[in-house]
């Protein structure tokens, strides 16, 4: 029969006379592995951060800390280079502080990533083989909220539209060029 924890503790309590037969452990709460693990941690810390010498583990010669090896930096290639929006489209890929107007005439800010500059739109159009067109594509045309600037859009040969501001934002995530190329291809195929 399995006893619950509280009844097992009550039945196994040893009186003062019985406790003398129990083996007394060290004064600290160490396990047999603490000395080995402690030495390894100290050696690793010193290897990383410098400082005094670590205690040497004489009891177990199989436990050793390998010497730190320098990691060579990968040379940038087309496959692993990380372009930025500014490196591709110039210092200002998006319209600065685009706005909209509410039904009460109050102005509000809109997400600049939806508002590429004409230069960014032309660059994206050249990348994907489209032409630049202006449209109010951010807010519902004819709705109560209106955008104050049109969107520069890229129209594809099949009539699909992509937003070059969104394409430019693909370059803000730190992705490699090959990942950005795939994202652009997905955007074009979804247009």
The pLDDT tens digits of the residues spanning 14-32 come to 444 444 444 444 455 555 5
User: Residue 56: its pLDDT value, please?
Assistant: 52
CA distance 87 to 9: 70
C-alpha 120/C-alpha 164 separation (Å) is: 7
Q: Which residues of the chain have pLDDT under 50?
A: 1-26, 33, 54
pLDDT value, residue 64: 56
pLDDT of residue 118: 98
pLDDT of res. 11: 44
In angstroms, the CA 179 to CA 183 distance is 6
The pLDDT score that the predictor gives to residue 1 is 43
């Amino acid at each position: 029969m399995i006893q619950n924890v509280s009844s097992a503790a009550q039945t196994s309590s040893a009186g003062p006379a019985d406790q003398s037969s129990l083996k007394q452990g060290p004064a600290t709460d160490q396990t047999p592995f603490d000395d080995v693990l402690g030495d390894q941690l100290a050696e690793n810390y010193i290897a990383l951060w410098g400082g005094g010498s670590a205690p040497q583990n004489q009891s177990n010669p199989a436990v050793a800390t390998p010497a730190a090896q320098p990691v060579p930096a990968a040379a940038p290639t087309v496959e692993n280079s990380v372009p930025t929006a500014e490196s591709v489209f110039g210092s200002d890929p998006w319209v600065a502080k685009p706005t909209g107007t509410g039904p009460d005439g109050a102005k509000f800010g809109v997400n600049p990533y939806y508002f590429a500059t004409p230069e960014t739109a032309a660059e994206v159009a050249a990348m994907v083989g489209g032409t630049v067109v202006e449209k109010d594509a951010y807010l519902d045309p004819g709705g109560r909220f209106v955008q104050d600037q049109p969107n520069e859009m890229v129209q594809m040969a099949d009539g699909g539209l992509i937003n070059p501001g969104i394409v430019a934002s693909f370059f803000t995530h730190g992705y490699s060029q090959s990942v950005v190329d795939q994202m652009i291809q997905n955007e074009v195929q979804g247009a």
